[in-house]
Amino acid sequence: MTLEEGQILFREGAPGENLYVVRDGELQGKSTLGTAINTYGPGALIGELAFLKKEPYTETITATEDCELIEITPDALEESLEQEPAWFRSIISFLTGRLQIAGENKRKSDKIKALPSLLYILDSLSSRVKANEETKVSHAEVIDGVEKLFNLSKDNIEDLLKILEELEVLKILGEEIHVKNANVVHLLYESIRFRARYRKTPPQILSMTEQMVLNAVIKTVQQSTEPLKNGAFTVNTESLLKVGKRAMFGATLTLRTMLPLLERKLLNASVPLGDGAVLPEIEAIPFFFGDFDTILDLMELNRIYPLLDKKLVK
Amino acid sequence: MTSRQQLIPPTHQSVKAGFVVYSPGSEYRSIVILEEGELIAREVTPPHSVVFTMRPGDLVGVAALLEREPFKYELSASKDSKITLVTEECMESELKRLPLWLLALIRSLSAKTHLLKRAAIETRVRNTLKSLAEYLSHKSSDTEFNLAELLREFSFLTKISTTTAQEDFKSLLRRHLIKLSQKNGRVFCKIVDPELLHIFTDYIRAQETETEFAPYRLSIVQKKILVFLSAMEVSPEKTGPDWISYIHEKFPDADVSQWISLLQIQWFVKTDPKNPDCDLFKINKAKVQYFLKALRYETNIRGVL
């Protein structure tokens, strides 16, 4: 068959049927999923997976000059395979499946690798317009930024945004993206960056015991009638112990369990604890204090962090 | 005899449970097709974990035979089994018999898989300079950043090699879009103007898509209007016809078509974009500044200093 310059061989999404071999001339393939342009010259094959798997064509192919093509129909394939030994069909099917899997793995790996770029852009845009709690950033600016930084297609960026939406990190509202808590986005980005650089758990990721202690602290603060002072909370030890009994699922709240949080200044004791070698009984400390938002942000990060990897590899 | 050459037949074997069908040390490559029974592939190093189990109809060794990819597991029969071995000679004789298009199809499936596997470990970024400019456009202009840290973070984000990124830093330096300085043996980078870097990324994108960059296709009248609009301290709110006559009064060459062009390049926006009935327009100061900056620093952006 021949095509004149500018003629379309097939459109993206059209049901896959024939395979084409370019004999002469040049064609270009463009997909709405990316900006890359594929060029097909003499000897090139067009539409292999669509031909073998009967899947829709993945790009629109246009002749950029007058072309001559060989059209291979599914009947021609069947006729050829009938003349080959039975095992040969298995090899074709294996190679097809392997190409498909490689494509899927590539798409998955692209998304995983693009997440830091998306968080970097979201963090940067959120910090520019940081409001009280919820921050609005332009949907188009996010897409534009990630596309320029990482060269990920719009559809894949949207998929990543949806994952973050499912994790309640943000909400997509038409032209705007509402970032629920810009600090959490920043913490998430820094945690992933730390993990990639040092190949170990980021310091922001808390142990189960630390999370249970902070959960007890949050509940105590929420039940308290004492208002926050510039975001700082104070909880008296008696109330904390009462809440701790219920909130720590059998674990006992002691200064030893609280020590890692005290050392990191997430919690502060109202009396000095020395070097921590000999700790007093928790009842000897009248109250604890700290920054409430820092604790809430950290707990939110610890909720999201383990879920994110699972969502990405799904 | 037809044009098809003779096929060297594959080997059929019956093997007992425990028989090692393939060992990674072997010089012989072949595709193993399991007809009956069960085969298992194990790691060759302790604890010799089972990697996968083959059921009748499964096959292994295609990549090893066709692409010389190493098959690193030991394959043994876990039950009495019947197997078919397609050796190199057998495959070669088969490939020679195929019509050319089918041979090309097999080669293409192999080559594309290989490319995808390689691409999965390489950077996706095609234009590394655009990517670096985008990355730096999100940094503030009032900080001196340690260059080594910037390189590390950029490489983490994009998987672009440090050597490539260093070349791109030089390219931005030549354009005066960044400044580099040295203190105590360390190199520091200062962003001259993040917005200028952002404009630069838009310029590169226009080049990639072979479209003309909007700020560099303005007519003389449009450039005059741009300077006029940027000098206006307050942005009045007027209807379209009022703006047309206002602009026409200052620039007699500007007519309705000019107004449409100015709307297309977003120098004017509706005062209430969410209200479809809104007919009042104001100057889009941010866009006007963008165009003005792009023109003012055209030599930096084009890299023709």
Q: Retrieve residue A65's tokens.
A: 């000059």
Nearest Cα of chain B lies from the Cα of A207 at a distance, in angstroms, of 26
C-alpha neighbours within 13 Å on the C-beta side of residue B94 = 23
Please name the member of A102, A121, A148 whose beta carbon is closest to the beta carbon of B116: A102
Q: With contacts defined as CB-CB under 8 Å, which chain A residues touch B131? A: 148-151
- Digit-coded pLDDT (tens) for B144-168: 999 999 999 999 999 999 999 999 9
Nearest Cα of chain B lies from the Cα of A303 at a distance, in angstroms, of 23
CB-based contact B119 A106, cutoff 8 Å? yes
Nearest Cα of chain B lies from the Cα of A292 at a distance, in angstroms, of 29
A108, A190: one domain: yes
A163 lies in some domain: yes
CB-based contact A95 B119, cutoff 8 Å? no
For position B220, what pLDDT does the model report? 93
For position B176, what pLDDT does the model report? 96
Query: At the topology level of CATH, where does B128-208 sit?
Result: Arc Repressor Mutant, subunit A (1.10.10)
A246 lies in some domain: yes
Q: Retrieve residue A113's tokens.
A: 């690798």
- pLDDT per residue rounded down to tens, chain A (314 residues): 999 999 999 999 999 889 999 999 999 998 887 667 889 999 999 999 889 988 899 899 999 999 999 999 999 999 988 888 888 888 898 899 999 999 888 888 888 899 999 999 999 999 876 555 678 999 999 999 999 999 998 888 999 999 999 999 999 998 999 999 999 999 999 999 999 999 999 999 999 999 999 999 999 999 988 888 888 999 999 999 999 888 887 778 899 899 999 999 999 999 887 776 778 889 999 999 999 999 999 999 999 999 998 888 77
Assign residue A251 the CATH number of its domain.
1.10.10
Nearest Cα of chain A lies from the Cα of B93 at a distance, in angstroms, of 11
A311: DSSP letter: H
Top residue of B84, B95, B106, B108 to mutate, by most chain A CBs within 10 Å, is: B108
CB-based contact B106 A113, cutoff 8 Å? no
Please name the member of B101, B120, B201 whose beta carbon is closest to the beta carbon of A21: B101
Q: How far apart are CA A28 and CA B109, in angstroms?
A: 19
Please name the member of A77, A99, A113 whose beta carbon is closest to the beta carbon of B112: A99
CB-based contact A94 B59, cutoff 8 Å? yes
- For the domain made up of B217-295, the CATH class stated in words is mainly alpha
CB-based contact B209 A98, cutoff 8 Å? no
C-alpha neighbours within 13 Å on the C-beta side of residue B111 = 9
Amino acid B60 reads: V
Say what the ipTM of the complex is. 0.83
Assign A62 to helix, strand or coil.
strand
CB-based contact A148 B101, cutoff 8 Å? no
For position B150, what pLDDT does the model report? 97
CATH 1.10.10.10 maps onto chain B at: 128-208
* Residues facing A177 on adjacent strands: A137, A172
- Digit-coded pLDDT (tens) for B241-289: 999 999 999 998 888 899 999 999 999 999 988 888 888 999 999 999 9
Q: With contacts defined as CB-CB under 8 Å, which chain A residues touch B101? A: 19, 21, 45, 70, 72
Tracing tokens 């003349």 back to the chain, one arrives at A83
Please name the member of B57, B84, B104 whose beta carbon is closest to the beta carbon of A45: B104
Q: Tell me which chain A residue has its CA closest to the CA of residue B34.
A: A87
If we measure between CA atoms, which residue out of B185, B282, B273, B279 comes closest to residue B232? B282
* Residues facing B62 on adjacent strands: none
Q: With contacts defined as CB-CB under 8 Å, which chain A residues touch B157? A: 116-117, 120, 149-150
Pick the CATH number of B11-119 from 3.90.1530.10, 2.40.160.40, 1.10.287.130, 2.60.120.10: 2.60.120.10
DSSP chain B: --SSPPPPPPEEEEE-TT-EEE-TT-S--EEEEEEES-EEEE-SSTT--EEEEE-TT-EE-HHHHHH-----SEEEESS-EEEEEEEHHHHHHHHHHS-HHHHHHHHHHHHHHHHHHHHHHS---S-HHHHHHHHHTTS-TT-EEEHHHHHHHHHHHH---HHHHHHHHHHHHHTTSEEEEEETTEEEEEES-HHHHHHHHHHHHHHHTT---GGGG--HHHHHHHHHHHH-SS---EEHHHHHHHHHHH-TT--HHHHHHHHHTTSEEESSTT-TT--EEEE-HHHHHHHHHHHHTHHHHHT--
Q: How far apart are CA A87 and CA B304, in angstroms?
A: 62
Range(s) of the domain holding residue A261: 208-302
8 A C-beta contact, residue A279 and residue A257: no
Nearest Cα of chain B lies from the Cα of A124 at a distance, in angstroms, of 6
Whole-angstrom CA distances from A81 to A149, A280, B133 are 46, 82, 52
CATH 2.60.120.10 maps onto chain B at: 11-119
CB-based contact B157 A43, cutoff 8 Å? no
Please name the member of B86, B157, B209 whose beta carbon is closest to the beta carbon of A117: B157
Beta-carbon contacts below 8 Å between A and B: 122
A194, A169: one domain: yes
Please name the member of B62, B112, B158 whose beta carbon is closest to the beta carbon of A94: B62
- State the helix-helix crossing angle for B285-296 and B194-208, rounded to 10 degrees: 80
A225, A156: one domain: no
A131, A177: one domain: yes
Q: With contacts defined as CB-CB under 8 Å, which chain B residues touch A84? A: 94, 97-98
Q: Return the sign of the alpha-carbon dihedral for residues A207, A212, A217, A223.
A: positive
CB-based contact A145 B138, cutoff 8 Å? yes
Q: Tell me which chain A residue has its CA closest to the CA of residue B159.
A: A113
Nearest Cα of chain A lies from the Cα of B201 at a distance, in angstroms, of 7
- Digit-coded pLDDT (tens) for B9-62: 888 999 999 999 988 877 788 899 999 999 999 998 888 899 999 999 888 888
pLDDT band at B1 (very low <50, low <70, confident <90, very high): very low
Q: With contacts defined as CB-CB under 8 Å, which chain A residues touch B112? A: 48, 99, 102
8 A C-beta contact, residue A136 and residue A129: yes
Residue B134 backbone phi and psi in degrees, to 5: -65, -45
CB-based contact A150 B125, cutoff 8 Å? yes
Q: With contacts defined as CB-CB under 8 Å, which chain A residues touch B84? A: 87
B275-281 contacts, C-beta under 8 A, 24 or more apart? B279/B239, B279/B240, B280/B237, B280/B238, B280/B239, B281/B237, B281/B238, B281/B239, B281/B240, B281/B243
Nearest Cα of chain B lies from the Cα of A112 at a distance, in angstroms, of 11
CB-based contact A45 B33, cutoff 8 Å? no
Q: Give start and end residues of each alpha helix (H) in chain A.
A: 48-53, 74-82, 86-128, 139-150, 154-166, 182-198, 208-223, 237-247, 255-263, 292-313
A89 lies in some domain: no
Q: Retrieve residue A224's tokens.
A: 């308290």
What's the number of domains chain A is made of?
3
Q: Tell me which chain B residue has its CA closest to the CA of residue A147.
A: B131
8 A C-beta contact, residue B61 and residue B32: yes
Assign residue A159 the CATH number of its domain.
2.60.120.10
Q: With contacts defined as CB-CB under 8 Å, which chain B residues touch A96? A: 109
For position A132, what pLDDT does the model report? 54
Top residue of B13, B30, B95, B102 to mutate, by most chain A CBs within 10 Å, is: B102
A309 lies in some domain: no
If we measure between CA atoms, which residue out of B167, B161, B288 comes closest to residue B226? B288
Domain end marker among A202, A236, A260: A202
